[in-house]
């Protein structure tokens, strides 16, 4: 079964899309079947990544997700059907039928408008309260470790203050404080707590606040140093759409100045420390169409990580910005250097 999953995940997602009846443009993109649009914003990442991502509605996934969601069937059924259809010699259960979908009706059927996410000012209040509480506690061992780690990455005291980074000095106290002040459903809605009513930043005590119009609109947690086995380096809020890190720095800038878009927040901080204007997206694949407007008047440089995901993400972003009339170029890192942060540290 695991072998089937692996093999099905490797079926070229573009082939499956074509076989479902979709028309691909330049073998890279198509009109999104999951939201109404006139210009195609669903992009395919060819194998080995083999995923799709819609820059219009944010929907993303692998070949099985695409198939399941287009056909409105569950994951297991989709896996079986794809196995039957594409894996030679696979003799699964389930039917052997070839699914035909009516692409035309998918596109013309106006789906029920999803309730748009509304960011509540209360969320900002919770994040800011949390930040203030953490800053006010006396320093602990984890503060020292965090500062040491950040310094090792070239994030100095100026940078920490400038971006108002903070550390969860005492997880238990922070948890209790928030629960005393706010209701659990409120905290869960703000993405800062999980369904069990615990702060989501259990293993991620370094907190990077994202500001928009002077208010915190997003929080990102980072482990101190390398994450433990089975944990990601970063922890994001649950169910809250990410905003752009350092977006306020684009306000009051002249037109035509050079603006850098980086993947990681630390990369952005590094460039700002170097005197450049920079923002970060938090990952290589999160760009949203409504963000285009922020970059209209600038000369944009995309400077992503030196890996497959980074380079693929950078190319897609260049295409999107370029199509929208934005002057955009790509910066590369020397080979062997993984990100901007490392690059400036080695100089
Ligand atoms: Zn879409």
**CA 55 to ligand 1 centroid distance, Å:** 7
Mean pLDDT of the region 224-240:
90
Between 91 and 164, whose confidence is greater? 164
The answer to whether 2-108 and 121-236 have equal CATH topology is no
Question: Band of the pLDDT at 1, cuts 50, 70, 90?
Answer: low
| 85-100 pLDDT per residue, tens | 898 888 766 555 667 7
| 37-90 pLDDT per residue, tens | 888 889 999 999 999 998 888 889 999 999 999 998 999 999 999 999 898 888
Q: What is the pLDDT of residue 298?
A: 96
CATH superfamily of 2-108: Zinc finger, CHC2-typedomain (3.90.580.10)
Q: Residue 211's beta-bridge partner residues?
A: 216
Domain boundaries 247-346, CATH class = alpha beta
**CA 35 to ligand 1 centroid distance, Å:** 5
Among residues 331, 329, 339, the alpha carbon closest in space to that of 307 is found at: 339
- Domain residues of the chain, as ranges? 2-108, 121-236, 247-346
Q: What is the pLDDT of residue 204?
A: 96
Q: What is the pLDDT of residue 238?
A: 83
**CA 59 to ligand 1 centroid distance, Å:** 6
Question: Band of the pLDDT at 114, cuts 50, 70, 90?
Answer: low
**CA 46 to ligand 1 centroid distance, Å:** 18
Q: What is the pLDDT of residue 218?
A: 97
| 165-196 pLDDT per residue, tens | 999 999 999 999 999 999 998 999 999 999 88
**CA 42 to ligand 1 centroid distance, Å:** 6
Whole-number Å distance between alpha carbons of 61 and 158 = 39
**CA 22 to ligand 1 centroid distance, Å:** 14
**CA 326 to ligand 1 centroid distance, Å:** 22
Question: Band of the pLDDT at 213, cuts 50, 70, 90?
Answer: very high
**CA 60 to ligand 1 centroid distance, Å:** 9
**CA 36 to ligand 1 centroid distance, Å:** 7
**CA 30 to ligand 1 centroid distance, Å:** 10
Alpha helix (H) ranges present in the chain?
A: 2-9, 13-20, 63-71, 75-86, 103-108, 121-136, 141-152, 157-162, 171-181, 184-189, 265-273, 308-323, 340-346
**CA 108 to ligand 1 centroid distance, Å:** 14
| 300-321 pLDDT per residue, tens | 999 999 999 899 999 999 999 9
pLDDT at residue 113 tops 60: no
* CATH of 121-236 among 3.90.980.10, 3.30.2130.30, 1.10.730.10, 3.40.50.720: 3.90.980.10
Interior/surface letters 204-227, b for 16+ CB within 10 angstroms, e for the rest = bbbbbbbbbeebbbbbbbbbbeee
């Amino acid at each position: 079964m695991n072998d089937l999953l692996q093999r099905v995940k490797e079926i070229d997602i573009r082939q499956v899309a074509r076989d479902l009846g979709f028309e691909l443009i330049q073998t890279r993109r198509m009109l999104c079947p999951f939201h109404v649009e006139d210009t195609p914003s669903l992009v395919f990442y060819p194998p080995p990544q083999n995923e799709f991502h819609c820059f219009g509605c944010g929907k993303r996934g692998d070949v099985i997700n695409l198939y399941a969601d287009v056909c409105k069937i569950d994951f297991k059924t989709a896996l079986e059907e794809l196995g039957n259809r594409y894996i030679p010699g696979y003799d699964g259960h389930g039917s052997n039928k070839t699914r035909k979908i009516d692409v035309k009706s998918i596109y013309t059927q106006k789906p029920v408008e999803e309730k748009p996410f509304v960011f509540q000012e209360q969320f900002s209040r919770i994040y800011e309260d949390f930040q203030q509480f953490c800053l006010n506690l006396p320093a602990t061992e984890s503060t020292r470790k965090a500062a040491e780690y950040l310094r090792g990455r070239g994030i100095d005291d100026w940078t920490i203050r400038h971006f108002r980074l903070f550390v969860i000095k005492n997880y238990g106290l922070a948890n209790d404080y928030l629960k005393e002040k706010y209701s659990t459903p409120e905290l869960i809605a703000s993405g800062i707590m999980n369904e069990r009513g615990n702060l989501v930043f259990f293993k991620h005590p370094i907190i990077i606040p994202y500001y928009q119009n002077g208010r915190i609109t997003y929080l990102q947690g980072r482990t101190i140093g390398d994450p433990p086995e089975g944990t990601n380096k970063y922890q994001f809020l649950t169910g809250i759409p990410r905003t752009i890190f350092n977006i306020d720095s684009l306000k009051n800038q002249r037109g035509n100045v050079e603006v850098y878009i980086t993947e990681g927040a630390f990369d952005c901080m590094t460039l700002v420390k170097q005197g450049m204007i920079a923002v970060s997206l938090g990952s290589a694949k999160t760009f949203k169409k409504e963000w285009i407007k922020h970059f209209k008047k600038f000369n944009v440089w995309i400077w992503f990580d030196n890996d497959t995901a980074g380079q693929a993400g950078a190319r897609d972003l260049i295409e999107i910005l370029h199509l929208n009339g934005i002057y955009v170029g790509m910066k590369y890192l020397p080979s062997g250097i993984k990100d901007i942060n490392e690059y400036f540290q080695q100089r």
